[in-house]
Amino acid sequence: MPRLLSNFDNLILNTDTYKHSHWNLYPPGTEYVSSYIESRGGPFPAHLFVGLQAFIKKYLLRPLTIDDIDEAEIVTHQHEIPFNREGWLGIVNEHGGYLPVEIEAVPEGTVLPNKNVLVQIINTDPKYPWVTSFFETALLRSIWYPTSVATISWLAKQLIREALEKTSDHPEILRDVLQDYGARGVSSQESAALGGLAHLINFRQTNTISGSLAATLYYNALRPAISQPNSEHTTVTSWGRDNEAKAHANLIEQYRGWPFVVAVSDSYDLHNAVHNIFGRELKEQIINSGSTILVRPDSGDPATVISDTVEGLMEEFGYITNSKGYKVLPDYIRAAQGDGLTLDSLKRIYAELDRRKLAADNIYLGMGGGLLQYINRDTLAFAQKASAVRINGQWVDVFKEPRTDTGKRSKRGRLALVFRDGEYRTVRREEAAEGENLLRPVYRDGKLLVNDNFENLIERSERPVPRWYYSPVLPDEAVAEPQPRWRSADERVSA
């Protein structure tokens, strides 16, 4: 008897309905289909690749069963779509239920220009050429989303890094500056998990627990994330407006000695909280708390509000001028901004801090929807396309070249990624020298061939890159290096 429907872990059903009608549409004699995944463009020149190992561990290391086939047949018949029962039975009987494919990919955590091959897939058994593209839906989704989040997070990191290097004496705080607040704003826990782990490549601060769990489950992470006590409006307003100071005093007392304690401060009147509550009534408690108290506004224009908060705290607690000539609050008090953050608002925040000669280490940040949710597959124009097929022993180039949209022109042939003259390039496989291809096999016929640790991803993500990779997110006065030929990566792939 087939298992109950709706388990959502049957790979045969983790696809678009119409994929079930493709198995018999390839040319007679088709033996192998090779396809690839890339970002075809977007507003940023480069991206940080992540997500493939999580997909493989979750979906490809569990064999398909007769129950999966029976369930899929019921569902496809309900959809009035053909079902390739013989093909799936062959995979179960001849391959133990594991997909007969090989997947090779760029090492995860790599930052490279878009319009380059990231992943390449080919079937390993000529009886099943249709398998290569069958699971495109699940595979592509598992890559475009975490890669897009990782890229947004990485770009934010580069912006913050440059701000710290210019205005602060403490660039070492970089991995603690930006916290993930996005769990409640995404469409599912799986999204929170994949997006959350992607962010943790760049920063170790998170409130998205599922992201930390995913980093451990899929990438063997050890202590991938930290956070800190943080009040919310409920814990303040439940005391009543007249007792707002008592609410903040209780927070500070309950977590005395904790390294960082975050106090949401604009439930009523931010100016009053900064100057009268924190700056006067609770001033001695803050100084003697043994903690760094982060005063966090939660509304208003981010660039203005956070800068005003820092200056207000400086009026009450004083400041020093660091070696870069920028003003810094005492160690026991800082400001935090967790509302309305996007790459654009981050740019404006650090530009405004700089304009007021306030050091970047005066603030910590939390990013929610702008990190995990304000993206889609088109943000970085992700696609999976076939680029070569072998028919009756002969390889043939496969490509699309729509006259109405040259941006959707696809690559041709079996592909390789190389690094030549300081630049990543996608070339035909036969054009890559021995050992030059950076794509490495990571999965074949049910076996995981590479098991990256999370530390590997972090290390790769922090390797030096040209400044033009991230210059679009820098403040306008930051002069970017000329952008080289990254836009013409497609042309490097020979016809």
Residues 128 and 184 grouped into a single domain: no
Residue 389 lies in a domain: yes
Backbone φ and ψ for 84, nearest 5 degrees, come out as -90, 70
Residues 40 and 140 grouped into a single domain: yes
- Which of 372, 402, 434 is a domain's end point? 372
Residues 340 and 382 grouped into a single domain: no
Q: How many domains does the chain have?
A: 2
Residues 79/3, Cβ–Cβ less than 8 Å: no
Residue 4 lies in a domain: no
Residues 382 and 483 grouped into a single domain: yes
Is the model's pTM score more than 0.75?
Answer: yes
Containing domain of residue 186, as a range? 155-372
Residues 156/150, Cβ–Cβ less than 8 Å: no
Residues 388 and 437 grouped into a single domain: yes
Closest CA to 149 of 225, 67, 64, 48: 48
Per-residue pLDDT of the chain (495 residues; tens, 9 = 90+): 455 555 688 999 999 999 999 999 999 999 999 999 999 999 999 999 999 999 999 999 999 999 999 999 999 999 999 999 999 999 999 999 999 999 999 999 999 999 999 999 999 999 999 999 999 999 999 999 999 999 999 999 999 999 999 999 999 999 999 999 999 999 999 999 999 999 999 999 999 999 999 999 999 999 999 999 999 999 999 999 999 999 999 999 999 999 999 999 999 999 999 999 999 999 999 999 999 999 999 889 999 999 999 999 999 999 999 999 999 999 999 999 988 899 999 999 999 999 999 999 999 999 999 999 999 999 999 999 999 999 999 999 998 777 787 777 889 999 999 999 999 999 999 999 999 999 999 999 999 999 999 999 999 999 999 999 999 999 875 444 444 443 433 443 433
Residue 152 CA to residue 212 CA, distance in Å, equals 18
Percent helix, strand and coil across the chain, each to the nearest 5 = 40, 20, 40
Residue 215 CA to residue 344 CA, distance in Å, equals 28
Q: How is residue 27 written in tokens?
A: 């040319």
Residues 172 and 188 grouped into a single domain: yes
Residues 223 and 126 grouped into a single domain: no
